Structure formats: structure tokens, C-alpha cells
């Protein structure tokens, strides 16, 4: 989350969706009502064939015998290439810690509005409480409240936005983020090996990796067919780690073969997705995938998302291993800090942000 110099941005009135739900449970303000083409289809008669997201058993990678490691590396490489998403089981993070961060996140969102507003997300920024990626007074809004914090390196933190309540919130975020950071470095090692690279290739390239966490709370919505919990987008990170709170409805959908596929979370698993950074580095061999969140008529949903990316100082571009006559270079070399600034100062709109990095082909018209 780069410190972005922002000119004053007029975002208009933004309703807090939890307050809306409390005071006007049947009302959907016009700014939340999506255009017909954007509205979600909430009834899928049958899931498309092969719509089960791949599952990776982390313990086979970390502790398995040679055959198990090779098999799971192959499964991981296939998941990255064909899906861009996978669920990780046996990830070796204490389940009590997952439960703690989930409970404390929920407690934070249940605080009175005036308490949460002590940590405001200023327009054009992505830390604090509110709605991110809003840049105009007429932009459609997501049916979601967010609370986001920069974690690493230390200079991305804004200490004024770390809440005093609930008790132990900040120290639990610290512990949780440390464990997720270890998992990300390990996954990047296995992803590198699956690509035929040195295991420490990405870790060495990334420098002091940037890490941020965001809690998303999606209250019930009387007309979930009219709104989106989170607009379609790909992530600007290298890896994103999603923890879906227990007991919530299915809300995550990913765009697979031009169809929005709902993802059923496995209990205690973490959902991982490839971000734009890995797409660029692999010259499109592994692609970041559009995803979105939908609301539910009766149930609230909570998710905790970690974004893991290279240092802002790093210059990125396709690695030579993935460029040849049959695979021409698709992306330019760019500074990751510049890309991050570009990402957080534009609204979420599919994979449009990645245009920043693409080599533009000459128009023959």
C-alpha cells in the first residue's frame, strides 16, 4: 500500500452498508444498484463441469517424501496455470489463530459506527475503515464495509489507523500476518520450483516484500440480485491469501472460461490466488484471474484478505525463461511502486489495471 499523494477527490455521500441494513433494511440506494450487465446471477442450476477449485496439500510439499513432493508440485503448477486460484489445506498455521483473527475482525465490524470512524479511509487511499477504490460522486458502490492496514515494511503503516478496540486486535493482526508471510514465502518457493526456477528466485527478486491485510464485511442485502459485494477485479499482488469466516454464505466467484463460478470454501483451508505480478514475471504463463464477491439475502459474510507483493523499489518485467520466439514479450519493465500507485488510484474494473504493464501492439488500421 504505497503512500500515494492524492489531490482532493469528491466521492459524494457513501452510505455505511451496516447502518443501512439496520435502519432501512429494505432500501437499496441507487449508488449500489448495478447496471443490468453487471448484476450477478445468483441461481446457478448446476455448476459447470470441472468447477471444483484445485486443492493443494501443503504438508505434502513441506514434509512429504520425494514422490509426494513431485506430485504436489505438479498439482500446484497445474492449478496456477489452469485456474490461477487454489485452496491450501494443512497449511501449518494454528487454527486457533485463524479463529482469533476471525472473531476479532467480526468484533471490530460490530463496534458502533462512531468508534470505527475513528480510523477513516480517506478518499483515494486504501488504509482504514470505509470503502476503497472510490474516485467519483457517481461511481457505483460495493455492498461491503472494509478495514485495511499496511503491515510490512514498517514504513507503510499508519499507526493512527491501528484500532484500540477490540482488545488484542493489533497484536493478533501482527501474529497472524507473520504466519501468513511465512506461508507466502513458502508458496512462492514451491511455485518457483514448479516453474523450473530456483526455489529462492522470487524471494531474492522481491526484496523486502510489501504486505497488507484487509477485512471485508458483507451485511445481508434484501436485493442481492441488484448489487455486488465487491466489483470484479484481479489483484495487483504477487499472491493473495483469503480466509473466509466460518458459517458465512458462498460469496467468492471467479471468472473461469467466461463463467462466474461460485467457490465453496473448505473448512480451515485458505484460498490463494495469483496476482498481476506473477502474470507479468511469467509472461502470462500463469495469469491473474478476475474475481468478485456477491451479497446474500439473509446471511452476513466476513473475509480476511492478505496481499503479498514485491518491494516498491523493484523493477519488474517478464523473466527471460518465459520469453522466446513462440512466446514474445507481452509486458514492459516497470517499477512496482509505480504500478501499485496506479492500481490503488483507479477503481476496480476487471483486469484493466494490468494494461499499465502491457506492451501495446501497433494498430494496423
Judge whether 42 lies within some domain.
no
| 87 assigned to some structural domain | yes
Confidence of residue 139 (pLDDT cuts 50, 70, 90): confident
**Measured between alpha carbons, how far apart are the two ends of the chain, in Å?**
39
CATH code of 267's domain: 2.60.120.330
Residue bearing the bigger pLDDT, 99 or 345: 99
Mean per-residue pLDDT of the chain:
86
pLDDT the model gives residue 364: 40
CB atoms within 10 A of CB 54: 15
In a domain, 275, yes or no: yes
Flag whether pLDDT at 111 surpasses 90. Answer: yes
Task: State the pLDDT at residue 265.
Answer: 85
Per-residue pLDDT for 108 more than 80?
yes
> Cα-atom radius of gyration of the chain, to the nearest Å?
20
Q: Is residue 1 part of a domain?
A: no
Q: Any idea what the Cα angle at residue 80 is, between residues 95 and 276, rounded to 5°? A: 95
Give the residue-averaged pLDDT of 229-239. 89
Answer whether the bond into residue 166 is a cis peptide, omega within 30°: yes
CB 351 within 8 A of CB 289: no
pLDDT at 45: 46
Where does 254-314 have alpha helices with state H?
276-281
Cα dihedral 16/19/23/26 (nearest 10) = 60
The answer as to whether 30 is a domain residue is no
What is the dihedral sign for C-alpha 177, 183, 189, 194? negative
Do 224 and 291 meet the contact criterion of CB atoms below 8 Å apart? no
Strand partners, 272: 86, 241
**For the chain, what is the domain count?**
1
298 pLDDT more than 60: yes
Where b means 16+ CB within 10 Å and e means fewer, 21-30 reads beeeeeebee
pLDDT score at 280: 92
b/e per residue 206-239 (b: at least 16 CB within 10 A): beebbbbbbbbbbbbbeebebbbbbbbbbbbbbb
Mean pLDDT of 244-273: 89
What pLDDT does residue 151 have? 95
Query: Confidence class of residue 6 from pLDDT cuts 50, 70 and 90?
Result: very low
Of 45-49, 187-191, 352-356, the poorest mean pLDDT is in 45-49
pLDDT over 90 at 3, yes or no: no
Residue 34 within any structural domain of the chain? no
Q: Is residue 24 part of a domain?
A: no
- Domain region containing 70: 52-352
pLDDT at 35: 84
> Which residues are CB-contacts of 24 (< 8 A; sequence separation ≥ 6)?
none
What is the average per-residue pLDDT within 332-353?
Answer: 69
Q: Answer with the residue of higher pLDDT: 3 or 156.
A: 156
Percent of the chain with pLDDT over 70: 87
Q: How confident is the model at residue 77 (pLDDT cuts 50, 70, 90)?
A: very high
Q: For residue 326, count CB atoms less than 10 angstroms from its CB and return exposed for 0-12, middle for 13-18, buried for 19 or more.
A: exposed
- 79 has pLDDT over 60: yes
Task: Express each pLDDT in 23-39 by its tens digit.
Answer: 887 888 888 888 888 88
Q: Is residue 9 part of a domain?
A: no
For residue 42, pLDDT beyond 80: no
Amino acid at each position: 500500500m504505497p503512500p500515494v499523494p492524492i489531490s482532493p477527490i469528491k466521492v459524494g455521500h457513501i452510505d455505511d452498508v451496516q447502518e443501512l441494513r439496520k435502519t432501512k433494511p429494505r432500501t437499496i440506494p441507487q449508488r449500489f444498484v448495478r447496471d443490468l450487465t453487471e448484476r450477478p446471477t445468483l441461481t446457478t442450476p448446476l455448476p459447470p463441469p470441472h468447477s471444483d477449485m484445485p486443492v493443494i496439500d501443503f504438508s505434502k510439499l513441506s514434509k512429504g517424501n520425494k514422490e509426494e513432493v513431485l506430485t504436489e508440485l505438479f498439482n500446484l503448477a497445474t492449478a496456477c496455470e489452469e485456474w490461477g486460484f487454489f485452496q491450501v489445506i494443512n497449511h501449518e498455521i494454528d487454527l486457533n489463530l485463524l479463529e482469533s483473527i476471525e472473531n476479532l475482525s467480526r468484533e471490530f465490524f460490530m463496534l458502533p459506527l462512531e468508534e470505527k470512524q475513528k480510523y477513516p479511509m480517506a478518499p483515494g487511499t486504501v488504509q482504514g475503515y470505509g470503502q476503497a477504490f472510490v474516485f467519483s460522486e457517481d461511481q457505483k458502490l460495493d455492498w461491503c464495509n472494509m478495514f485495511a492496514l499496511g503491515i510490512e515494511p514498517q514504513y507503510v503503516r499508519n499507526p493512527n489507523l491501528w484500532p484500540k478496540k477490540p482488545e488484542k486486535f493489533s497484536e493478533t493482526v501482527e501474529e497472524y500476518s507473520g504466519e501468513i508471510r511465512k506461508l507466502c514465502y513458502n508458496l512462492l518457493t514451491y511455485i518457483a520450483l514448479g516453474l523450473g526456477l530456483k526455489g529462492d528466485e522470487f524471494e531474492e527478486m522481491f526484496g523486502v516484500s510489501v504486505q497488507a491485510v484487509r477485512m471485508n464485511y458483507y451485511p445481508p442485502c434484501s436485493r442481492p440480485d441488484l448489487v455486488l459485494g465487491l466489483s470484479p477485479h484481479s489483484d495487483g499482488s504477487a499472491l493473495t491469501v483469503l480466509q473466509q469466516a466460518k458459517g458465512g454464505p458462498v460469496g467468492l466467484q471467479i471468472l473461469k472460461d467466461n463463467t462466474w463460478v461460485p467457490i465453496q470454501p473448505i473448512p480451515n483451508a485458505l484460498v490463494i490466488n495469483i496476482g498481476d505480478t506473477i502474470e507479468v514475471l511469467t509472461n502470462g504463463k500463469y495469469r491473474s484471474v478476475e474475481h468478485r464477491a456477491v451479497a446474500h439475502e439473509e446471511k452476513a459474510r466476513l473475509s480476511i484478505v492478505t496481499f503479498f507483493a514485491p518491494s516498491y523499489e523493484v523493477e519488474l518485467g517478464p523473466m527471460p525463461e518465459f520469453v522466446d520466439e513462440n512466446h514474445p514479450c507481452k509486458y514492459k519493465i516497470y517499477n512496482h511502486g509505480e504500478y501499485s500507485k496506479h492500481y490503488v488510484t483507479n477503481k476496480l474494473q476487471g483486469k484493466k489495471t494490468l494494461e499499465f504493464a502491457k506492451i501495446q501492439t501497433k494498430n494496423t488500421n
